[in-house]
Structure 1
């Protein structure tokens, strides 16, 4: 594409000046939910950030994973604890992993960290529905498109049955010339290699790509494109819009047990 100002399109903090207050609200709500519903702490590697908070509930069946955003360079799982609230109210357990951040590691490394986290969660013996926000939406799509037996011969091919990507990034090349890439260090080849849009589509699985109604045209294009491309290749895809939501408010429905977003995730655990 030409004539697109990718800095304007992808710099969400500049687009939403009130983002500090919104993220402070995440931290406050998450701390309150952890106090109310203390998680079990799991580890999937030796690093201090190779952790998973498991918010257990009483229903059997698939586990929902929620992967935090932050452009692979900010935040951790503790900022997203409140995102377990809606599903926990339906008896569905939610796992919230943390990962190492760029520039200490690469985006490719982070994909590997999330695969290791899924392998650890596989020990629970339950299929996984992987959701995520922003960079976490990218990672959710990567998990859906992973060939699990090739990664680890002990893992089932259908370890991840569905992905629910909120404000996801599926084609990373547009970021290369932006300020966001200072920490990521992506060149065009590395960006393409880390873009699930160009991976083998995981036919027979389900992907929902959801974007806030007030997000940039590029975020809408990203979600629309993966829905179209993967849909033609046999993935059951669905495009969703969170009305009036910006990049930071698009995940707010996850805390509401009655929100359409939560009810759709519940439905994905039953498919």
Structure 2
């Protein structure tokens, strides 16, 4: 049987990655202190982590860009990632970053519903088109927004121009065979229901699966399978394998307005 724990073990295969959470938090705090306009802790529900931040551009926003963080649905928060809004913000977009209740306190299906509510609240505050992005578990959550059972109101769904899933998880069934499932508590029914590749896309969305060429092979498979399956279901799909980036360096370009990944996100 395949070693599924190793297949998803990003930090174990990236030297020095144990220092990254502290670095993300410090960089995000320094960015918030640097003078950008951040509207923090906007409530989209009653739970303590049902909060989102919006990073505002200097001018009237071109639209709403969303970044949903990863952490295998069981760690990290919006406040660790504020600096990754800069590329889109500098290109004139308002950037929403939601937190969500973590497993095991919430099941993954409930987190999907939370992100739907967060997007509805953010969309009510920012006019214009919507671009979605998410990293790892966040990639799962944004692709779930454009499935046939989306939790989004129809008017919000209609505004989504593009969804960028970065190192996203689109087939959750293998996670049932990992030690992480002690926390995730996925069963066969939920794993299938929460796998975007087992859904029809909502309409004919434009979606890009972006993954680092130096990532674990399972993440490259997860990117390719979404693009391949949904291409056959009338979605406008692309899969881009980005150089030799690992699971963590692959998102660094979001900090720069002229990077390839930022241009794909909001260009």
What is the TM-score normalised by the length of structure 1? 0.92
- Cα drift, residue 129 of structure 1: 1.1
Aligned length: 263
Cα deviation for residue 222 of structure 1 reads 0.7
Deviation by residue 1:65-99 (Cα, 9 ceiling, x = unmatched): 00000000000001110110111111111110000
User: Quick one: distance in 1 between partners of 2:116 and 2:66?
Assistant: 12
Structure 2 unmatched ranges of 5 or more: none
Which of 19, 44, 49 pairs up with 2:17? Answer: 19
Instruction: List per-residue Cα deviations over 1:154-213 (Å, max 9, x = no partner).
Output: x35413332101110000000101012111001122111111111112332110101111
Q: Does the 8 Å CA contact 2:120/2:152 hold for their aligned counterparts?
A: no
1: CA distance, partners of 2:27 / 2:100: 21
Instruction: Report the CA distance shift for 1:151/1:78 in structure 2 as closer, same or farther (over 3 A).
Output: closer
1:130 paired residue among 129, 132, 137: 132
Provide the C-alpha distance between the structure 2 equivalents of 1:39 and 1:195, rounded to a whole number of angstroms.
33
- CA drift of 1:126 comes to 2.9
Q: Distance in 1 between matches of 2:148 and 2:65?
A: 17
Aligned positions of 1:56-71 closer than 5 A: 56-57=56-57, 58-71=59-72
Partner of 1:247, secondary structure, is: coil
CA contact (8 A) 2:4 2:175 kept: yes
Deviation of the 1:133 alpha carbon: 0.3
- Indicate if the aligned counterparts of 1:203 and 1:233 stay in contact, CA closer than 8 A: no
Please provide the CA RMSD for this pair: 1.7
Question: Compared with structure 1, are the counterparts of its residues 63 and 152 closer, same or farther at alpha carbon in structure 2 (3 Å cutoff)?
Answer: closer
Structure 1 runs (4+) deviating above 3 angstroms are 150-153
Aligned residues of 2:145 and 2:152 also touching (Cα < 8 A): no
1:196 aligns to what?
196
In the alignment, which residue of structure 2 is the partner of 1:231? 231
